[in-house]
Amino acid sequence: MSLADVAGAGRLPDLTGLLDTCQVGGFRADFVSWGFYTKPAWRNYWHRHSFHEVCLAYTGAGRFSVGGEHHDVGAGEVFVARPGDVHEIESSREDPLGIAFWGFTLRGGREAPGPDERGWWTGLTDPAGPVVSRRTGSLAEVVTALAGYADPVRSGYDAGLAGLGAALVVDTARAFANEDDLQVEPPPRDRPSQVVAVMRRHLADNLGRPVRVRDVAATVHLSERHAERLFREQTGTSLMATLRRMRLELAAALLLDTGPTVTEVARACGYPDVRAFSTAFRRLHGHSPLEHRARSGTLHL
């Protein structure tokens, strides 16, 4: 469903009480207004607010005036009145302006960013910044998703709405920020390290089950040889050696509970043969499983 469809169906309800506030980037955003202006032609006379009022045009044309400036606006544009800005919005009579609007305050966090501190929020905090933008990003999709989460209200709506509210604030600010202020150093994306993390997670999730190199390699869509080589390069040890250590470390923790027998602990850690388990345990920890339990795991100290 498009934003125009949502507006036509009147599906963006008053979110007051559903999404009143959210945390985003060290700021607290408090939402104060929501809604649509649609046909017929309308006019929002000169006024001002103590909050940011944002309008996303999805159809038609009109004029947005702020201070002594007049801007022709239309579908695909977003415009903002910052706190204290005296402004007016007038829809075209021939082609009525359709907008979704939302209002919010932005509190706490960063005030006036320094020369070495820039980011998405500068689009809202700079009073001399642009007031009309065509960089709408995902605003239409976020507003549409908000409507879906709010009508009907279902379990989990609060978490979903809070996340969407944060996205709405960020995308709003990005629309008016200087492009240079949006540039950040991307986080490292070292694919081999992520692949190894997936393999380690597979081992950890299957400590009590039979595991072969083939199984682990399949989870990351690599050949057995490539997976083994990559894992060894990243960790300094083989997949099966890592699996054995993880199993025996789990066993050491489980033995501190006097409930399960040594045989039950062995099986829970992937050792169907208790003798093989005891031998491997002693080799790693320096004492038998029974000694480990008797001394509450402190014998090795």
Mean pLDDT (whole number) for 223-228 = 96
pLDDT band at residue 8 under the 50/70/90 scheme: low
More confident residue, 119 or 279: 279
Please report the pLDDT score of residue 301 as a whole number: 43
More confident residue, 218 or 10: 218
Cα–Cα dist 101/33, whole Å? 8
Give CA–CA dist 120/173, Å, rounded.
6
Query: According to the model, what pLDDT value does residue 23 have?
Result: 92
Distances (CA, A) of 256 to 14, 73, 208, 263, 282: 55, 70, 18, 14, 16
* Residue 274: predicted pLDDT: 94
* Structure confidence at residue 116 (pLDDT): 46
Per-residue confidence band for 31, with pLDDT thresholds at 50, 70 and 90: very high
Looking at per-residue confidence, does 2 or 129 come out higher?
129
Q: Does the pLDDT of residue 127 top 50, yes or no?
A: yes
28 pLDDT tier (thresholds 50, 70, 90): very high
pLDDT value of position 109: 62
Is residue 112 very low, low, confident or very high in pLDDT (cuts 50, 70, 90)?
A: very low
Residue 9: what pLDDT?
Answer: 55
Tell me the pLDDT of the chain averaged across its residues.
89
Mean per-residue pLDDT, 204-218: 96
Q: What is the pLDDT of residues 260-282, one digit of tens each?
A: 999 999 999 999 999 999 999 99
For residue 18, what pLDDT band results from cuts at 50, 70 and 90? Answer: confident
Q: What pLDDT sits at residue 149?
A: 84
pLDDT digits over 35-45, tens only? 888 878 899 99
Query: Tell me, what's the pLDDT at 6?
Result: 63
**Span 217-246, average pLDDT:** 95
- 244: how many CB neighbours lie within 10 A of its CB? 19
Q: Is the pTM of this model over 0.75?
A: no
Instruction: State pLDDT tens for residues 154-192.
Output: 899 899 999 999 999 999 999 999 988 888 887 776 666
Mean pLDDT calculated for residue range 86-114: 84
* Each residue's pLDDT tens digit, 60-93: 999 999 988 999 999 999 999 999 999 999 999 9
Q: What was the pLDDT predicted at 190? A: 64
Percent of all residues in the chain with a pLDDT value above 90, rounded to a whole number: 69
Own/partner contacts of 235-240, CB < 8 Å, gap of 24 or more, are: 235/196, 235/200, 239/199, 239/203, 239/213, 240/213
Catalogue the E-assigned strands of the chain: 21-24, 27-37, 43-47, 52-59, 61-66, 69-74, 78-81, 87-91, 98-107, 132-133
